[in-house]
Chains A and B, each alone.
Chain A
Amino acid sequence: MDRPIRVLIAKPGLDGHDRGAKVIARALRDAGMEVIYTGIQQTPQMIVEAALQEDVDVIGLSILSGAHMTLLPRVMELLREHGMHDVLVVAGGIISDDDARILKEQHGIAEVYGPGASTHEIVRFIQDRCRTRT
């Protein structure tokens, strides 16, 4: 069935800078996706519970606080506990290349975007991955 891609955009952790998250939310909306925006200061539990209730295809996590190596693996762990293996998870923020590699290789984050990433690139990545999965 032809249904829009559903994406949860969340900000785990304590930083309150959600400009980037909102820019991404709009870009995804403009690309025809349904974007559930949950706001700032979300715990991994809150994020995974919202993703479960909303039955999303994708979770986008924006994190600038530096706590990504604790919070992002925790989100992935909770997703696995809930049997939500099929949810695509992408992250954006200030994340070093080394950390990004570990998040992708060891924790199953599909892609990590740094400050210069274009919204185009992110939209296309999500569209491609969601198309090949169905």
Chain B
Amino acid sequence: MDLAQALLEGNRRALAQALTLVETGGPQARALLGALFAHTGRAHIIGVTGAPGAGKSTLVAALAAHWRRAGRTVGIIAVDPTSPFTRGAILGDRIRMQALSGDPGVFIRSMASRGRLGGIARATGDAVALLDAAGYDVVLVETVGAGQGEVEIAAAAHTTIVIEIPGAGDDIQAIKAGILEIADLLVVNKADRDGAEQTVRQLRAMLSLADLPANGWTPPVIAAVATRGEGIEAIAAATEQHLAYLRESGRFTGREQERAARELRLILQETALERVRARVSSSEWDMVIERIVARALDPYAAADHLLDRALSPHKD
């Protein structure tokens, strides 16, 4: 496949077009991802999440600049929400990443969450795979931290950085949001503001109460002022330590297995639905829906029946 070859040879336009293709999805996208799969698995995938305004883009840009100085190439995927009303989106993360502009060792792509099949987690995973195959050493995925989708994206990363800011809600909020469970690193950004030390203390206290495995990884809590580059080196170092920990403890393989299982599950869901839709005419589909609405058929039985037909070798 031409596009795959060009991407592997470092053609940035090919990479951009491939990203568009996997964002849209479909059989062509799957063929491309299939062709590139053997070239993935080299990048350190880092998820960065936190509430809007926590400073994710600025931190991502600062980390990218840090790794560029260390001679490593960096791919960035910045996800912003799609408006559920208009399907449109404003993607503004590049504004904070201007310092990286013009560096051929950096590739930035903005993605809208779209209301897509399989969810944003799947599309993000595919985009990560492309940047990985294209040879970027570090792939940073930035997401708005507001719900289950972000937890899923975190599951696709090797290392997840959660950004908090001073005084943004009490400790119960953090527990509710489940951020402690997904964080490999906690960053208290905007640490020049009042209450930063208290936030750091609270997070550490909560971590000490958390049920962390013995001899396991204890997420460090790092204070930072990303706009001034303060704390960036400590964050980069901790991120690298986390990867080393994953490798040495054998947990890296575990994470890779989780990643693979998740991916397979998502692909199966998508493919199964696609096959059903290909096998079942839209009038028949509508009829099934109507019978469900009329309570003449329950949706579970309907799904079983449709799946059986989609998977059976004979066309009926």
**Partner-B contacts on A (CB < 8 A):** 1, 3-4, 6, 25-26, 28-39, 42, 45-46, 49-50, 52-55, 82-84
Q: Is the CB of A83 within 8 A of B112?
A: no
By beta carbon, the residue of chain B nearest A9 is B90
Given A34-B88, A35-B88, A55-B19, A50 and B13 touching (CB < 8 A)? no
Q: Is the CB of A35 within 8 A of B91?
A: yes
* 16 A-B pairs whose Cβ atoms sit less than 8 Å apart in the complex: A3-B20, A3-B23, A4-B112, A29-B88, A34-B91, A35-B91, A37-B91, A39-B92, A39-B98, A45-B101, A46-B98, A50-B94, A52-B12, A52-B13, A53-B12, A54-B110
When chains A and B are docked, how far (Å) is the Cα of A33 from the Cα of B87? 7
Residues of B within 8 A of A54 (CB): 16, 109-110
Given A53-B107, A53-B108, A36 and B13 touching (CB < 8 A)? no
Q: Nearest Cβ in chain B — how far from A117, in angstroms?
A: 20
- With A45-B102, A53-B108 known, 10 other A-B pairs at CB within 8 A are A3-B23, A34-B82, A35-B89, A36-B94, A38-B95, A39-B94, A50-B108, A52-B13, A54-B109, A54-B110
Q: Nearest Cβ in chain B — how far from A28, in angstroms?
A: 7
Q: Is the CB of A4 within 8 A of B98?
A: no
By beta carbon, the residue of chain B nearest A55 is B16
Residues of A within 8 A of B101 (CB): 45-46, 49-50
Given A53-B109, A55-B20, A36 and B102 touching (CB < 8 A)? no
When chains A and B are docked, how far (Å) is the Cα of A54 from the Cα of B95? 14
Q: Nearest Cβ in chain A — how far from B249, in angstroms?
A: 36
When chains A and B are docked, how far (Å) is the Cα of A46 from the Cα of B109? 14
Residues of A within 8 A of B16 (CB): 52-55
Q: Nearest Cβ in chain A — how far from B111, in angstroms?
A: 9
Residues of B within 8 A of A36 (CB): 91-92, 94, 110
Residues of B within 8 A of A1 (CB): 24-26
When chains A and B are docked, how far (Å) is the Cα of A114 from the Cα of B215? 66
By beta carbon, the residue of chain A nearest B107 is A53
Contact flags B98-123 to A (C-beta < 8 A → 1, else 0): 10011000011110101000000000
Q: Contact check: which of B82, B86, B95 meets A39 at CB < 8 Å?
A: B95
| B17 beta carbon closer than 8 Å to chain A | yes
| B83 beta carbon closer than 8 Å to chain A | yes
Q: Nearest Cβ in chain B — how far from A10, in angstroms?
A: 9
Q: Nearest Cβ in chain A — how far from B105, in angstroms?
A: 13
Residues of A within 8 A of B83 (CB): 29-30
When chains A and B are docked, how far (Å) is the Cα of A46 from the Cα of B19? 20
Given A46-B101, A46-B102, A82 and B89 touching (CB < 8 A)? no
Q: Is the CB of B94 within 8 A of A30?
A: no
Residues of B within 8 A of A4 (CB): 87-89, 112, 114
When chains A and B are docked, how far (Å) is the Cα of A22 from the Cα of B19? 26
Residues of B within 8 A of A30 (CB): 83, 86, 88
When chains A and B are docked, how far (Å) is the Cα of A31 from the Cα of B82? 12
Interface centre among B90, B98, B114 (most CB of A within 10 A): B90
When chains A and B are docked, how far (Å) is the Cα of A1 from the Cα of B26? 9
Residues of B within 8 A of A42 (CB): 98
Given A36-B94, A37-B91, A45-B102, A29 and B86 touching (CB < 8 A)? yes
When chains A and B are docked, how far (Å) is the Cα of A82 from the Cα of B90? 25
When chains A and B are docked, how far (Å) is the Cα of A52 from the Cα of B102? 12
8 Å CB interface, B1-53 against A: 12-13, 16-17, 19-20, 23-26
Q: Contact check: which of A31, A46, A82 meets B88 at CB < 8 Å?
A: A31
